[in-house]
Every structure is written in structure tokens, then in C-alpha cells.
């Protein structure tokens, strides 16, 4: 008896030892991928990892509130959460394969189906029947276990995909808000430029009326004012587009643009040095890498499912049936059966082997996809770091150009009023100043968007998704 108990205790180990297919091992990324980023600049701090809620680095309460609203109502996040719920339901279905399957049936009927069994010809009577069948698959070769592993990895991959959507929602909401703020800033610059050009045009027109300025100078000044005015509608349209994009990200209609975004006049900036961490932290943080790795785990488990199909499938089952009829008094019948059932596609294994080769090919493709995602993640971060660094340098240079062009315009205006230079020289100085203002505003918008690209490439913002989804 003790020996029998020992064998029963070892049975699960024996079964697990027979699990078909390769055992999954998490792939290791290249060693160089875990080191510091290649691009080094004054705008990035490699010693600190970006915080989970990186948008709070902007220190803008309005932006914080918009991100919270987007997490709660964004339609893409709702779709991703529903997909995750479905994947978890599939996992529960796979786990049910460990349990016996049961089928209970019963019925009652009225008719003359029992002629010749004691009832008269055409005599109707009541009859009833009931049946119960139970079957349990002996997972000798690990088919059920591998299927559960695949379903679990699929669910984890879908969870990572949901986290990737959360990263995108945080980044794009921030981008839309910053674009609206930058468009408002650029629009204000354009209006100031038009005001300057219009004032200059009125002054030259007045001089032309009294004969102290030529008609050519008046037309040139009016053309410059019209050109400055022409930039305003396009910038107003850009601002509206950004506001509508923000409303959609918040799960609302174009009429639901938040007032906080409408009132933003200057795009906020984060701290001087952006925390970026290193490659090792990046590989742990990016949800798309986790999704690719979990997909590889699922496809590896499916190789085991396909391998198990090469071996017999054994089930233990039993069934019982009961029958009773009014016309057969005292003759109720009951039958039952117990025993194993073995099914095997031998000797024609062509289909099973073809499916195994398909699963192995899919596993190889998933491994290649994982390696590709690692390379893409590193590339995106390095590109974003480069764009932010060069964008900051360009913005600093344009800021200096704007200051100097404004000083040059003031000097030119004084000299023109004193009569020491021609109106054409004043218009050239004015055009240089307006171009410098517009270039600075445009560079500020691009740099704001580039910072968002960097944070998005770093993969932060998905942490806490379970808590947010439960609210």
C-alpha cells in the first residue's frame, strides 16, 4: 500500500517530465543593448530613469488632469481593456481542460413509440430518460499543460499591448495639448508681427499722402502687412486641429474641447535635463518588448501542443443511462460504462507533422520579431535623443537671432524716422525680425513634440494600468 501511494505521489512528476515540445527560455538581448545610450547631450540625464508619470515633469496641473481624463475615457484604451478581458476568459477556458468534462441529459416524451413492448397498437404513453457522461483527459504528453501555457502567455501579451496603448494615449494627449499651446503661442507671434507690419504700413501710407514717401514704398509696406496677415488663418486652423485631436483622445466630441487647453498660451517645458536612464531600464520598461517576448513564449508552448499530437491521446470516461416507461411497469432500465479511450492518428502522421513544422516556423518568426523590437526600441530612443538635443541647440540659436533681429529693427526704425536710411532698408530689417520670430515659434513647437517622442520611445506611462482599469 505504501508503495502504491509513493507511485501516486510521483505520477504528476512523471507526467510533467513527459511534456512534449521545447522548454521556453527567455531570450537575452545583446549585451551592448543594456549599456548607456550612444547619444549623450546636456538635455538628457542618463543617471536617472524617467518617472512612471513622466508628464508631471512639465509641472502643469492642467496637463495632469487631461492625462487622467484620457486614461479614464479614451476609446482605444477601452478596446484594449476589452481585448484583455477576452484573453483572460480564453485562459480560463484552457485551464478547464485540467478538469473532467461532463454532459448531463434528460427528457420526457409522450407518444406511441413503444408498440410491441407491452403497449397496445397505437396506445400512447409517457416515457422518460436520463444520462450522465464524464470524461477526463490524462495529460500524459503535456498537451493540456502546453495549451494552458500558451493561453497564459497570450493573455500576458494582450496585457502588454494594453499597456502600450496606455503609453501612446499618454504621449499623444501630451502632444495634442502642447501642440495647442504652441499653436496659440505662434498665433500670438503672428498677430504681433501683423500689428508691427500694419503699423509700419500705415506710417508709410501717411508719409506717402504728404509726399515724403514714394508710392513704391507704400505698396511694399502694404504687401508686407498683407503677408503677415496671411499667416494668421493657417495658425488658427492648426490650433483648432490640435484642440479637436485632444478632445478625441479624451473620449469626447469636437464640442468637448477642455477650457484648460483653450486658455493655454505658451507650451510648458520640463526640467532642463530629461531623465532617460540606460538601455537595461529601457528593455524592462517598454511594453512592446514585453508583448513580443510573451508572444514568443506562447508560440513556443504551441510547439509543445503540436508535438503532443504525435502521441496517443488518452481519456478516462464513464457514462450512465436510465430509462423508464409507463407501459413497462417494474421494468426501469439503467446502464453504465467505464473505461479508457485512446485516440491516435497513427500511422498517418502527415497532418500532425505539418502542424508541428508550422508551429516551429511561427516560433522562429516570433524570435526574430522580438530581436527586431529590441533594435527598434534602441533606434527610436537614440533618434529621439538626437532630435531633442539638436532641436534645443537650434532653439537657443533662434532665440539669439530673434533678440538681435528685434534690436536691428528698432535701430532701423529710428534711422528711418531720422531720414538716414531708405524705407527698403526698414522693410528688410522688419522682414528679418518677423522671420526670426516665426522660426523661433516653429522650433519651439517641434522641440515640444520631439520631447514627447522621446518620452514615448522610453516607454513610460503604462504603470498602474490595472488600478486605472478597475476604477
Q: In this predicted structure, what is the pLDDT of residue 379? A: 94
Q: In this predicted structure, what is the pLDDT of residue 334? A: 85
DSSP element (H, E) containing 108: strand 101-111
Pairing verdict, β 101-111 and 125-138: antiparallel
> Would you say residue 11 has pLDDT above 70?
no
The span from the CA of 39 to the CA of 8, in Å, is 60
Name which of 335-339, 458-462, 463-467 the model is least confident about. 463-467
Quote the distance between the C-alpha of residue 414 and its chain's center: 57
pLDDT, tens digit (0-9, with 9 covering 90-100), for 116-145 = 444 445 567 788 889 999 999 998 899 999
Residue labelled with grid coordinates 521556453: 24
**Residues present in the chain in total:** 471
Distances (CA, A) of 303 to 105, 188, 299, 331: 37, 62, 7, 54
pLDDT, tens digit (0-9, with 9 covering 90-100), for 268-290 = 998 768 899 989 889 989 999 99
Name which of 26-35, 76-85, 377-386, 436-445 the model is least confident about. 26-35
pLDDT, tens digit (0-9, with 9 covering 90-100), for 348-392 = 899 999 999 999 999 999 999 999 999 999 999 999 999 999 999
Which residues fall within 8 angstroms of residue 74, CB to CB, at 6 or more apart? Answer: 169, 173, 249, 250, 251
Q: What integer is the mean pLDDT of 289-318?
A: 94
Which residues fall within 8 angstroms of residue 231, CB to CB, at 6 or more apart? Answer: 190, 193, 194, 438
Distances (CA, A) of 69 to 242, 249, 361: 17, 9, 43
Q: In this predicted structure, what is the pLDDT of residue 87? A: 96
Whole-number average pLDDT of the chain: 88
The span from the CA of 30 to the CA of 458, in Å, is 18
* Superfamily for domain range 17-101+140-311+354-470: Outer membrane efflux proteins (OEP) (1.20.1600.10)
Query: Residue 431 in contact with residue 412, Cβ under 8 Å?
Result: no
Residue labelled with grid coordinates 485632444: 246
Please count the other Cβ atoms lying within 10 Å of the Cβ belonging to residue 56. Answer: 14
* Phi/psi of residue 210, nearest 5 degrees: -95, 5
Exposed/middle/buried for residue 277 (C-beta within 10 Å: 0-12, 13-18, 19+): buried
Q: In this predicted structure, what is the pLDDT of residue 243? A: 96
The span from the CA of 468 to the CA of 471, in Å, is 5
> Would you say residue 308 has pLDDT above 90?
yes
Which residues fall within 8 angstroms of residue 197, CB to CB, at 6 or more apart? Answer: 221, 224, 225, 227, 228, 229, 430, 434
Share of the chain above pLDDT 70, in %: 90
Q: In this predicted structure, what is the pLDDT of residue 416? A: 87
Please count the other Cβ atoms lying within 10 Å of the Cβ belonging to residue 167. Answer: 23
Query: Residue 342 in contact with residue 313, Cβ under 8 Å?
Result: yes
- SS3 call for 107: strand
Q: In this predicted structure, what is the pLDDT of residue 121? A: 52
The span from the CA of 96 to the CA of 89, in Å, is 11
Amino acid at each position: 500500500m505504501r508503495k502504491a501511494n509513493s507511485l501516486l505521489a510521483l505520477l504528476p512528476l512523471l507526467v510533467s517530465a513527459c511534456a512534449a515540445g521545447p522548454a521556453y527560455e527567455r531570450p537575452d538581448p545583446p549585451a551592448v543593448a543594456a549599456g548607456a545610450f550612444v547619444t549623450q547631450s546636456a538635455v538628457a540625464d542618463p543617471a536617472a530613469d524617467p518617472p512612471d508619470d513622466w508628464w508631471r515633469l512639465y509641472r502643469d496641473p492642467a496637463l495632469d488632469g487631461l492625462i487622467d481624463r484620457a486614461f479614464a475615457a479614451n476609446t482605444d484604451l477601452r478596446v484594449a481593456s476589452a481585448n484583455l478581458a477576452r484573453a483572460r476568459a480564453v485562459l480560463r477556458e484552457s485551464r478547464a481542460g485540467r478538469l473532467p468534462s461532463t454532459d448531463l441529459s434528460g427528457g420526457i416524451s409522450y407518444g406511441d413509440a413503444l408498440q410491441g413492448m407491452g403497449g397496445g397498437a397505437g396506445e400512447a404513453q409517457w416515457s422518460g430518460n436520463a444520462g450522465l457522461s464524464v470524461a477526463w483527459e490524462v495529460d500524459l504528453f503535456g498537451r493540456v499543460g502546453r495549451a494552458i501555457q500558451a493561453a497564459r502567455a497570450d493573455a500576458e501579451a494582450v496585457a502588454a499591448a494594453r499597456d502600450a496603448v496606455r503609453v501612446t494615449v499618454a504621449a499623444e494627449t501630451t502632444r495634442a495639448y502642447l501642440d495647442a499651446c504652441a499653436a496659440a503661442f505662434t498665433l500670438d507671434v503672428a498677430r504681433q508681427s501683423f500689428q508691427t507690419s500694419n503699423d509700419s504700413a500705415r506710417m508709410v501710407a501717411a508719409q506717402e499722402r504728404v509726399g515724403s514717401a514714394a508710392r513704391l514704398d507704400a505698396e511694399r509696406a502694404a504687401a508686407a502687412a498683407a503677408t503677415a496677415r496671411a499667416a494668421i488663418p493657417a495658425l488658427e486652423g492648426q490650433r483648432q486641429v490640435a484642440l479637436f485631436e485632444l478632445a478625441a483622445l479624451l473620449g469626447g466630441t469636437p464640442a468637448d474641447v477642455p477650457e484648460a487647453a483653450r486658455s493655454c498660451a505658451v507650451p510648458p517645458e520640463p526640467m532642463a535635463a530629461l531623465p532617460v536612464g540606460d538601455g537595461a531600464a529601457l528593455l524592462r520598461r517598454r511594453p512592446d518588448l514585453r508583448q513580443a517576448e510573451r508572444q514568443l513564449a506562447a508560440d513556443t508552448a504551441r510547439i509543445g501542443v503540436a508535438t503532443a499530437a504525435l502521441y496517443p491521446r488518452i481519456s478516462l470516461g464513464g457514462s450512465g443511462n436510465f430509462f423508464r416507461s409507463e407501459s413497462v411497469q417494474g421494468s426501469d432500465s439503467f446502464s453504465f460504462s467505464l473505461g479508457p479511450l485512446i485516440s491516435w492518428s497513427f500511422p498517418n502522421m502527415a497532418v500532425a507533422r505539418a502542424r508541428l513544422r508550422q508551429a516551429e516556423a511561427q516560433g522562429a518568426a516570433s524570435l526574430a520579431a522580438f530581436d527586431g523590437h529590441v533594435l527598434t526600441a534602441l533606434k527610436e530612443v537614440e533618434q529621439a535623443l538626437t532630435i531633442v538635443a539638436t532641436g534645443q541647440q537650434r532653439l537657443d540659436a533662434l532665440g539669439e537671432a530673434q533678440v538681435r533681429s528685434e534690436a536691428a529693427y528698432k535701430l532701423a526704425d529710428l534711422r528711418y524716422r531720422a531720414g538716414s536710411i531708405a524705407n527698403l532698408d526698414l522693410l528688410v530689417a522688419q522682414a528679418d525680425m518677423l522671420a526670426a520670430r516665426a522660426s523661433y515659434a516653429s522650433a519651439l513647437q517641434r522641440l515640444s513634440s520631439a520631447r514627447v517622442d522621446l518620452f514615448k520611445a522610453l516607454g513610460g506611462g503604462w504603470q498602474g494600468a490595472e488600478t486605472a482599469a478597475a476604477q
